[in-house]
Structure 1
Amino acid sequence: MTTRPPRVTHAYDGDLVLFLIGVRLHQPWRLGVVRRVLAAMPRMIAELEADRAAAERDGTPGQGFLGARYLLDGGHPTVLQYWRSTEDLYRYAADPDLEHRPAWKAFYGYAASAPSAVTIWHETYAVPAGGHESIYAGPASFGLASLAGSVPVAQRGERARQRMAS
């Protein structure tokens, strides 16, 4: 008799924002531009992770950043970020005292010297509460469940349609 791997779903309830951001290197030999572009994201993620940890410790809402995952798309780095709301994301992006705004301005300054060297891109998806579901079959959760915790699939529904409605 075969044993079925454990199946869980994420424990997150509420609105959710998925923010994908990445870089495509067209001229990797332009080391000055490439190095600066690639160095900016880890600083931003470190800042957001520190804020998230402080918010969890202090019981405050923080910036609204839930976590991030690093991906490779055809060898090009991509970061999948989870946010509580678009307003939280926009507030972070526009704040001149945090890492993003100065990095964004700096990018346009040094990218002007090599406009074809890199492409920075992002996509934002606002997912309303009840508009997301997941399943993880195996010993380790990934994605949203690794950030927000998990519950047995049976608790929210065996089928995707049931989990979406829960």
Structure 2
Amino acid sequence: MGQYIYPGRYTADPGTDSVTVFLIGMRANRWWKAGKVAQVAGAMPRILRHLASDPAAGMLGFEQWFGRTTMLVSYWESPEHLRKFAADRDAPHLEPWRRFMKELSGTGDIGIWHETYQVPAAGIETVYSGMPLFGLAKATAQVPVGAGTHTAKQRMGRFSGPAASPDVLPGAAGH
């Protein structure tokens, strides 16, 4: 069954003063080495299940795309939450990372990358038109575009604190 499509235009209300955006991905440089690609890619579902089951970890939600170059964008409460998770010996991140560094780093078979952005709410502008819950709105709260939010210029910087609108549609944090 398909996802519910919200007719009309919406924006996201992060409900906080800032959001940490973490992009991570991998690239199959030698796609014919499918076993190694599957080994690296196979770690992510376990990591995401762990994060979704532990709201205190601080991941608000994520979206992901697959292809020769895969990408996952995740939204976090803070960079401290992200760093704490990355260094947590009991979380399912360190073991796959160490295995990658020992077995695959430097071979050129698989490339990995990540980028982290600390974004003030005043620097966020989003719009969703005819979409299911998606992205930051899915991770936090989706609100209808209305008075004072019809243009990108109006939306930029509008939210800089907790959501207060009665029209807020809560996101599905953690998927």
Q: How big is the shift at 1:155?
A: 5.5
Question: Are 1:9 and 2:11 matched, yes or no?
Answer: yes
Structure 1 position 63, deviation (Å): 0.9
Contact 1:17/1:83 (CA < 8 Å) preserved in 2?
Answer: yes
2:80 alignment partner, SS class: helix
TM-score where L is the length of structure 2: 0.79
Aligned-residue offset at 1:30: 2.6
For 1:128 and 1:139, the matched residues in 2 are separated by 25
1:3-42 aligned within 5 A: 5-14=7-16, 15-42=18-45
Could you tell which deviates more after superposition, 84-93 or 139-148? 139-148
Q: Could you tell me how far 1:165 is from its partner in structure 2?
A: 2.5
2:47 and 2:93 in contact (8 A); partners too: yes
| Structure 2 Cα separation of the partners of residues 161 and 69 of structure 1 | 25
Percent identity of equivalent pairs: 38
Q: RMSD across aligned C-alpha pairs, in angstroms? A: 1.8
Distance 1:78 1:41, change over 3 A: same
Runs of 4+ in 1 over 3 A off after TM superposition: none
Q: Using the alignment, how far apart are the partners of 1:29 and 1:75 within structure 2?
A: 11
CA 119–69 in structure 1, closer or farther in 2 if over 3 Å, else same: same
Equivalent-residue separation in structure 2 for 1:139 and 1:129 (angstroms)? 22
Tell me the SS of whatever aligns to 2:25.
strand
Q: Which runs of 5+ in 1 are unaligned?
A: 53-61
**What whole-Å deviation, never above 9, does each CA across 1:46-92 have from its counterpart, x for those lacking one?**
1111113xxxxxxxxx01101111124x6321111111111111110
Q: Report deviation, 1:147.
A: 2.2
Aligned to 1:59: none
Q: 1:46 aligns with which of 41, 46, 49?
A: 49
Confirm or deny that 1:109 pairs with 2:102: yes
